[in-house]
């Protein structure tokens, strides 16, 4: 097992000017002891201050923490989540500072990703009497992730609860935040929500609590944008369960423990997950055309398509030249749009880089079911339209109208085809498709 010790990371690094940001994690006094949230609840997680990227795609300028917790009741102890495997030693040291293994009655995993389940096999070995609780959707993942046949577990759903005597843990089914298996656990008597990745962020600070750590607002929003945003509809469903809770504290699986004004965090998630455009577009369907053009031919197609879709009642169309725009604001627009059209030339047998840059940025937003279509001018073979269509289908978008390809400069007949193409898409969007003749033979 690859073991990482916080203390070696924190105390023996050569401190330079560039390391100044790491200073808070060397705060004295944390050592390898558990940290109390209350008489009955302790943090037993691990700090990872030097991590600079998480899951490859996420930058972590402040490192991260793997938060785990212990709850003590009159009839036993529960452990909520574990840590990444390499940080097991400090996790067990903190655990041992507040309980004997023989006292552990329950282990709850809110989420099976390895940064939280890494120490589970060893914990189960040390506390074999403990019962493991996971979400219904975690069942098939458990064996696949941990490669372990011997674990017995109990799957739980919203409304299920377990008792530690004078403390009760109840479960909230909050799938796809951000894996299918994710759930939250509510400590009823102390009004603490162990929220897993929800309300978490990659921000390592040994002062642990949101009223003590540095300014982590950027990390909180960055984490939401990359981890939760693709599952916005599930965020909204989870908030329906969480907002009614009289929160005293939110204890997430990463980043600061949110004990000061905890209700502001679900409120912030509500804002982040709410559509912004509805008040501007009313009941109209929003359709966005993104194009780029080498010699003006794809641009002329875009203008013809734009004119066509704009004629259809109930469609609000907008058009953007990718050559003049940054990708990030376009991604925000696409998140709330009902349809997108992509106009791309074919150069060297491919769509051009700005188009791929845009498409590769769409993984952070929900795209399933959006209407999409592709058009473009080409010189020889015109592969780009088909390639982009495949990518859009890969994003689970609906591509019901075949892409329109025009060789070099569009003629008036071909511009008429663009008009027909635009009207066909607009009708799909508004649900006013032309009657189709079905060949019954
Ligand atoms: Fe923090 Fe999804 O694991």
* Residue 71 within any structural domain of the chain: yes
Band of residue 439 on the pLDDT scale cut at 50, 70, 90: very low
pLDDT, position 214: 96
The domain that holds 286 is classified in CATH as: 3.40.50.360
pLDDT, position 24: 38
Note whether 136 and 266 are same-domain residues. yes
> Does any ligand 1 atom lie closer than 6 A to the CB of residue 285?
no
Tell me which residue has its CA closest to atom 2 in ligand 1: 113
Give me the domain span that covers residue 155. Answer: 2-273
Band of residue 32 on the pLDDT scale cut at 50, 70, 90: confident
Note whether 132 and 264 are same-domain residues. yes
Note whether 261 and 286 are same-domain residues. no
Residue 27 has pLDDT above 70, yes or no: no
> Does any ligand 1 atom lie closer than 6 A to the CB of residue 226?
no
Q: What is the pLDDT of residues 177-207, one digit of tens each?
A: 999 999 999 999 999 999 999 999 999 999 9
* 194 CB-near residues (< 8 Å, 6+ apart): 69, 80, 81, 108, 110, 184, 185, 186, 187, 251, 252, 253
The share of the chain scoring above pLDDT 90, in percent, equals 81
Note whether 209 and 159 are same-domain residues. yes
Note whether 155 and 260 are same-domain residues. yes
Among 273, 288, 312, which residue terminates a domain?
A: 273
Note whether 120 and 259 are same-domain residues. yes
Q: Per-residue pLDDT averaged across 137-148, rounded? A: 83
The domain that holds 201 is classified in CATH as: 3.60.15.10
* Residue 201 within any structural domain of the chain: yes
Residue 175 has pLDDT above 50, yes or no: yes
* Residue 441 within any structural domain of the chain: no
Note whether 361 and 395 are same-domain residues. yes
Note whether 256 and 372 are same-domain residues. no
Band of residue 51 on the pLDDT scale cut at 50, 70, 90: very high
Tell me which residue has its CA closest to atom 3 in ligand 1: 113
* Residue 423 within any structural domain of the chain: yes
User: What's the whole-number average pLDDT of the chain?
Assistant: 90
Note whether 130 and 237 are same-domain residues. yes
Indicate the number of domains in the chain: 2
> Does any ligand 1 atom lie closer than 6 A to the CB of residue 115?
yes
Whole-model pTM over 0.85: no
> Does any ligand 1 atom lie closer than 6 A to the CB of residue 254?
yes
Note whether 319 and 426 are same-domain residues. yes
Cα(197) to centroid of ligand 1, in Å? 6
Indicate which atom in ligand 1 lies nearest the CA of residue 66.
1
Indicate which atom in ligand 1 lies nearest the CA of residue 196.
1
């Amino acid at each position: 097992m690859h073991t990482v010790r916080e203390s070696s990371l924190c105390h023996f690094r050569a401190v330079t000017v560039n390391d100044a940001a790491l200073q808070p994690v060397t705060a004295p006094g944390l050592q390898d002891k558990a940290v109390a949230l209350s008489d009955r609840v302790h943090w037993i997680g691990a700090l990872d201050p030097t991590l600079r990227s998480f899951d490859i795609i996420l930058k972590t300028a402040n490192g991260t923490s793997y938060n785990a917790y212990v709850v003590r009741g009159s009839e036993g102890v529960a452990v909520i989540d574990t840590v990444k495997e390499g940080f097991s030693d400090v996790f067990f040291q903190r655990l041992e500072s507040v309980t004997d293994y023989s006292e552990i009655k329950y282990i709850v995993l809110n989420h099976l990703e390895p940064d939280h389940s890494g120490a589970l096999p060893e914990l189960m070995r040390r506390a074999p009497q403990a019962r493991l609780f996971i979400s219904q959707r975690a069942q098939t993942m458990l064996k696949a992730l941990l490669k372990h046949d011997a674990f017995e577990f109990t799957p739980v759903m919203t409304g299920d609860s377990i008792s530690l005597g004078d403390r009760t843990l109840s479960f909230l089914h909050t799938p796809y935040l951000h894996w299918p298996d994710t759930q939250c656990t509510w400590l009823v008597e102390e009004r603490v929500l162990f929220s897993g990745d929800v309300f978490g962020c990659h921000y390592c600070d040994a002062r642990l609590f949101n009223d003590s750590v540095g300014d982590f607002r950027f990390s909180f929003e960055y984490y939401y944008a990359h981890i939760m945003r693709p599952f916005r509809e599930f965020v909204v469903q989870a908030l329906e369960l969480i907002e009614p809770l009289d929160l005293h504290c939110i204890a997430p699986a990463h980043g600061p423990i949110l004990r000061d004004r905890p209700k502001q965090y679900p409120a912030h998630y509500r804002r982040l997950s709410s559509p912004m455009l509805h008040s501007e577009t009313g009941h109209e369907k929003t359709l966005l055309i993104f194009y780029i053009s080498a010699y003006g031919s794809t641009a002329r197609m875009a203008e013809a398509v734009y004119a066509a879709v704009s004629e259809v009642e109930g469609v609000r169309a907008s058009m953007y030249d990718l050559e003049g725009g940054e990708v990030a604001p376009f991604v925000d627009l696409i998140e709330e749009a009902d349809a997108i059209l992509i106009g791309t030339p074919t150069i060297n047998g491919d769509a051009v880089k700005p188009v791929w840059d845009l498409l590769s940025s769409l993984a952070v937003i929900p795209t399933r079911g959006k209407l999409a279509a592709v058009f473009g001018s080409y010189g020889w073979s015109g592969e780009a339209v088909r390639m982009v269509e495949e990518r859009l289908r890969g994003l689970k978008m609906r591509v019901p109208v075949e892409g329109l390809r025009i060789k070099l400069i569009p003629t008036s007949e071909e511009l008429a085809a663009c008009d027909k193409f635009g009207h066909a898409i607009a009708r799909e969007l508004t649900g006013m498709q032309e009657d189709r003749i079905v060949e019954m033979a």
